[in-house]
Amino acid sequence: MKQVLDKPEKKEARSRPAGLVAYYAAALAIRTSDAGTAAAVVLLALSTAGAGAEGAAAYSGLLAACLTIPHMLGPLSARFLSLMPSARSGLCVSFAVFAVTFGAAGVLIHRDSPLLAAAALAVTGFLGPIVTGGLSSHLSSLVPVEQRSQRRAQSADSLTYAISNSVGNSLVGAAAAVVSPLATVFMLCGLAAAAAVLTSALPLEDTDRASKARASMKNVLLAMVRIKQLRDIVIITYGNVIGYGSLIVLSTTFARSHGLPASVGALLLSVMGLGSLLVAAWLIVRPLALDVVTAAKWSAVISGVFMVVPAFTGVWVAGVAFLVVGGCQALLNTAALAIRREASPPDLRESVFVTMAGLKVGVGTLGLALAGLVPAEHMAYGFLAAGGLSVVAGLLPRSPK
């Protein structure tokens, strides 16, 4: 009897490496595609309208907003995914539609059909939460259940986000310069299509999924509010991401306030991305052993403290601060993935991941927009607000008595 029972376990163990390879390849492909979409839209719109034309910047910004704002509909995206017959088919269809609609939007922008392009971009943005959070909700089913293996896999997942965010915009810029902005759009579509194919190889048939009634938006949102760990990570993540998102603009504001070229701001963001890559890679080698909520809290607090540093320093110290902020973000992302996996009801895990991923992008966009209102002469206030909000978010959740 013991030998009979051992066979399925050995078979499952053999299937995990192949499943993980397909998972991380799909994650890198779809997240790199998603990370580059906004920049690709802006470059294509500017190219079509003429970069120096009156209103070109506003036109490209509005099209990019059509892509990012629908992320706020994360609860609806989660509901859409829950109605699919299986997790694997839902992800494959979402990635494929993402590729088609984004490609259509690129062609429509190129042909100067802004209204139709905006509609296609809105559909692409609606699928964004599934792109960023849908895969992560199923990672645990491909990994042994013991905590160390789960933590290592979550750190590797966090690393795919860091790589994608670093590589996505670089690929867009390089492809647009060497070939054309429209070719860049097609390249990102190809990555999304490849992710759909790779996802079809994932063994996700046996994962728990809620019934249509159970996976309602009301139940998902109530779970995020009522379950303490989920509520805590919502507060920590969203408070931190407003400040983190604002650094995209504040880095350029910092450069201007010191009389430096705008490229210095881009360099600071690259340093921040390097910090994320280094810490995420380290956490694969040394999986997170701390309590995940505690790790998330102090990541937000330390990140917030270092967000304030550039308000009072020169470029070299600011570079160190951005490096630390990036590292804290990788730790926070890993802890957040662990909390969502462990605290979510198993049958609602997919919907919780997608909902939180979508809202996170929307909240981060809010931080970016607010930072754009800060003039160069008052740059310090922007960093103070960004850092203060992250610190407060990290300190708000209380440990249970």
Q: Summarize pLDDT for 210-262 with one digit per residue, the tens.
A: 555 666 778 888 889 999 999 999 999 999 999 898 888 888 888 888 888 87
Mean pLDDT within 274-290: 89
**Rounded to whole angstroms, how far apart are CA atoms 182 and 191?**
15
CB of 254 closer than 8 Å to CB of 379: yes
CB of 169 closer than 8 Å to CB of 39: yes
**Residue 42 vs residues 66, 169, 263: alpha-carbon distances, Å:** 11, 11, 18
Q: What percent of the chain has pLDDT over 70?
A: 90
pLDDT at 8 over 50: no
**Rounded to whole angstroms, how far apart are CA atoms 373 and 95?**
35
Which pTM was predicted? 0.84
Highest mean pLDDT among 164-168, 287-291, 334-338, 394-398: 334-338
CB of 214 closer than 8 Å to CB of 347: yes
Band the pLDDT of 6: cuts 50, 70, 90: very low
Mean pLDDT within 188-198: 94
Angle between helices 181-199 and 2-49 (to 10 degrees): 170
pLDDT given for residue 263 in this prediction: 75
CB of 35 closer than 8 Å to CB of 173: no
Band the pLDDT of 120: cuts 50, 70, 90: very high
Exposure b/e, 86-123, CB count within 10 A at least 16 = b: ebbebbbbbbbbbbbbbbbbbbbbbeeebeebbbbbbb
Per-residue model confidence as pLDDT tens digits over 345-400: 888 888 888 888 888 888 888 887 777 777 777 888 889 999 999 999 999 887 65
Band the pLDDT of 93: cuts 50, 70, 90: very high
Find where tokens 């300190």 sit.
Answer: 395
pLDDT at 61 over 50: yes
Mean pLDDT within 138-147: 83
Angle at 199 between CA 193 and CA 200, to 5 degrees: 100
